[in-house]
Amino acid sequence: FFSVSPKSSMGDRYAAMRAVIGDDGVEKVRKSKVLCVGAGGIGCELLKDLVLAGFGHIVTIDLDTIDVSNLNRQFLFRKQHVGKAKATVAADVVRSFNSDVLVQGIQADIKEERFDNEFFSQFDVVFAALDNIPARRHVNRLCIASGIPMVESGTQGYIGHATLILKGKTQCFDCTPKATPKTYAVCTIRQHPDKPIHCVVWAKYLFSLLFGETDDVGKVTDLAEDRTYAAYSAESLFRKVFIDDINALLEIDSLWKKRSPPVPLMPLSEGGHEQRLWPSNDQKLLDERVAREMFSISFEELKKRRSKSEAALNFDKDDQEAMAFVAAAADLRCRCFFVPAETPFKLKTLAGSIVPAIASSNAAVAGLSAESAIRVVLGRANECVSSYLSRSIASGGKVFSPISLFP
């Protein structure tokens, strides 16, 4: 960390920073221009840190719009912001924290052609606060091509990391293999899933909302407080989540400017279902008719169980009825969004490997990212380390484990 100077200029908002990096250091930070790609979980925390640190010109880019499910941990957003662009709202909010800073928000896909090497070259540091590997690889390639330092960060539950990438001096993002992520952006899950795992996460949220205990209100669907599992039949629930909610998403035009829109399913027919809770061969893709049967039968069985139990039901992938409901709901969700299907066996594997997002992890990793950027702006990039956040206390009584970037 930085050493503290015994002399500093006091009486202004940057007094604490002057005590650490001096007057010249503060001026370098204030004259810098940085790009934050992503205004979600980590991005919101990072933008707050950058503005309060006094980075002079900040640009943030994010394609997504704000969903009600974002409000429990993306603290720049409020209920009145739902449906608006994340990047522009985040810029407006953090601008009010420090009027000295120029903040620009752009709602766009970072992969658009206008964001090329020339665009990246205007920045002193680029932050990759993204929730998917393809976009992070894209930003990594542009930073390497333009020679701009990149601070890459990510979280997975209680663990996380932040690391500096310098062309020709450190490993880049593509230099090491990446594990399959186990946490997923809620706005992706709720509004525009594009992978089977997104639909599995959504189906597990639906299960918890109906039969379990969850604080994640709004992650799946805006059911009124009095609309519990007891208020639904299989047919009415099917209509709510696979027809009405899909039609509601279609009304948000900004979501579908660069994406294929989903399609609602046909209503679930009443009666006439075969007693097929789980397919005889779960390594074959489900037929839609079978998925509908599984959804209907499993919901009614879970409804009976929940009505007889004082305690909420917990999802367990080895609970056949719970797993049948999640697998069927995920399969039907995939059909709405044209997501490639998976077998019930694969869906079961995916359902057992999901880790929730944690707000405090995002905040910690954002702070580490901002510190690395300050060192870069001061010309002290050689002092940067890869910082890893651990759920358990590491040696020395710390939750952060620094690893040297340079030989």
| HEC-encoded secondary structure of 168-217 | CCCCCHHHCCCCCCCCCCHHHHHHCCCCHHHHHHHHHHHHHHHHCCCCCC
Burial class (CB in 10 A: 0-12, 13-18, 19+), 219: buried
Closest by CA to 252, choosing from 407, 75, 32, 83, is 83
- Chain segment 365-379, per-residue pLDDT in tens: 999 999 999 999 999
Q: Can you give the pTM of this predicted structure?
A: 0.65
Residues 242, 45: Cα–Cα separation, whole Å: 34
Find the radius of gyration of the CA atoms of the chain.
24
Which residues in the chain show pLDDT less than 50?
Answer: 1, 4-10, 215-217, 223-226
pLDDT of amino acid 358:
82
pLDDT of amino acid 405:
83
CA 129 vs CA 25, 209, 271: distances in Å: 25, 29, 48
Instruction: Name the residues annotated as catalytic.
Output: 187
At residue 314's C-alpha, the angle toward residues 184 and 325, to 5°, is 75
Query: Which residue type occupies 339?
Result: V
Q: Please give the full DSSP string across 213-231, using - where no structure is assigned.
A: --S-TTSS----TT--GGG
pLDDT of amino acid 347:
92
Q: Please give the full DSSP string across 20-80, using - where no structure is assigned.
A: HHHHHHHHHHHT-EEEEE--SHHHHHHHHHHHHHT-SEEEEE---B--GGGGGT-TT--GG
Q: Please give the full DSSP string across 367-406, using - where no structure is assigned.
A: HHHHHHHHHHHTT-GGG-EEEEEEEEEETTTEEEEEEES-
pLDDT of amino acid 231:
78
Query: Which residue type occupies 372?
Result: S
Q: In the Cβ-directed half-sphere of 22, how many Cα atoms lie within 13 Å? A: 7
pLDDT of amino acid 181:
59
- Chain segment 301-347, per-residue pLDDT in tens: 999 998 888 778 888 887 889 999 999 999 999 999 999 999 999 99
Residues 75, 50: Cα–Cα separation, whole Å: 15
For residues 35 and 127, the answer to whether their CB atoms sit within 8 Å is: yes
- Lookup: tokens for 104: 């620009």
